[in-house]
Amino acid sequence: MNYPNFINSKLPNVGTTIFTIMGKLAADNNAINLSQGFPDFSCNEELIGLVNKYMMTGHNQYAPMEGLMSLRKILAEKTEDIYSAKYDPESEITITSGATQAIFTAITAIVRENDEVIIFEPAYDCYQPAIELNGGKTMYVSLKAPNYSIDWEEVKKMINHRTKMIIINTPHNPTGSIMSSRDMAKLEKLTQGTDIVIISDEVYEHIIFDGYEHQSIARFPKLAERSIIISSFGKTFHATGWKMGYCVAPKKLTAEFRKVHQFLVFSCNTPIQYALADFLKKKDNYLELGNFYQKKRDHFIELIKNSKFQFEPSAGTYFQLLRYKEISKEKDTDFAVRLIKEFGIASIPISVFYHEAVDNHVLRFCFAKREETLEKAAEILNRI
């Protein structure tokens, strides 16, 4: 077919995402796939049974635009329980088709032409395109080696009257770093008296290790009043393919969020919302997640401790970064492709999460995998 030459791309520099590229390369080469972040084990059978039950009993039509009330109620209880923050399920919680949709919706609801949005690099890949599609300007602050912490002095220098939004992400993809209560205090001080809105991407809120507590922005009332918190059931319940998430924000922000949400998707999967409302009643279903993944992280790093890769154990998420300076001087994108083709293991190169492709020779490996997958992966990594 002829390409219509009157199309002027709104995202001229955007290609296919790294997750699609690496996933396909892994499949084509029959490689162990530790690239895209998803579990290779099944989600809870009881949860699947619940979804089935609600489908079979006729809950198959549109859900309310804001989400099922019983689900929003239990999320309000969970947020109060864990973070001591009160949100009204009626006007402050919205169910979304995954976190990606929620992030796009939140950015679209708030960011206007020429507004500046600060994000931290390496950054999850869906923020920048959403900012640019809304005419905003992405402002980048690099996380500081070795533990990918935030340099608040740099953030301070970047804030001006055009700064409309700051997007934070803790636990952080791709680095596995976490923000502390001191970070939150700094953020509070910097945003006080401004009209900056914060998006807090907390999709890994329950995947945090070594006794650390997740510092949800909900815990900090002065920050919470200007923040849109986004989470994902995909991460929490090993069901990334269901694309279900939620957004928690004060009434006025939620009202703006819903104005966009209702025309982007209107409402989300009905039987899954019923099932999640039931499943969330058992708190262990999410409170045990940190231990569950910590065991996987520990198993993985124990297996590769004598390899030539260097690493600091991840503090949260289900990703482990490995540095390969001892092994090769290749670009991380080239090295990642070679690992797939020559060694049969797929990862994600970290330079793709920087707008200027900063390459520190680091790869991201997903350890949300069965023991046997991790063992096979480690056996390969130890040979490299």
- Give the residue from 207, 248, 202 showing the smallest Cα distance to 225: 248
Q: Which of residues 124-143 bind ligand PMP (CB under 6 A)?
A: 124
290 binds ligand GLN (CB under 6 A): no
The reply to whether 311 sits near ligand GLN by the rule CB under 6 A is: no
Of 69-77, 95-103, 210-218, 258-266, which part binds ligand PMP (CB under 6 A)? 95-103
Contact residue for ligand PMP among 33, 35, 169, 320 (CB under 6 A): 169
Residue 243 vs residues 55, 62, 238: alpha-carbon distances, Å = 17, 16, 11
Q: HSE (CB half, 13 Å, CA atoms) of 23?
A: 9
Spatial neighbors of 136 by CB under 8 A, at least 6 apart, are 107, 111, 112, 113, 114, 115, 116, 117, 164, 165
Which are the contacts of 266, defined by CB distance < 8 A and separation ≥ 6? 62, 65
For position 316 contacting ligand PMP by CB under 6 A, the verdict is: no
The tokens describing 204, both together, are 């890994």
Out of 31, 37, 71, 304, name the contact with ligand GLN by CB under 6 A: 37
If binding is defined by CB under 6 A, does position 140 make contact with ligand GLN?
Answer: no
> x-or-dash pattern for ligand PMP, window 174-213, by CB under 6 A?
---------------------------x-x----------
For 15, the 3-state DSSP assignment is coil
173 binds ligand GLN (CB under 6 A): yes
Least CB distance to ligand GLN at residue 36 (A): 4
Backbone angles phi, psi at 257, to 5 degrees: -60, -45
Among the listed residues 122, 136, 176, 245, the single contact to ligand PMP using CB under 6 A: 245
Least Å distance between CB 17 and ligand PMP? Answer: 11
Separation between Cα atoms, residue 298 and residue 295, nearest integer Å = 5
Alpha-carbon span 44 to 65, nearest angstrom = 27
Binding site for ligand GLN (CB under 6 A): 17, 19, 36-37, 173
Binding site for ligand PMP (CB under 6 A): 37, 98-100, 124, 169, 173, 201, 203, 232, 234-235, 240, 243, 245
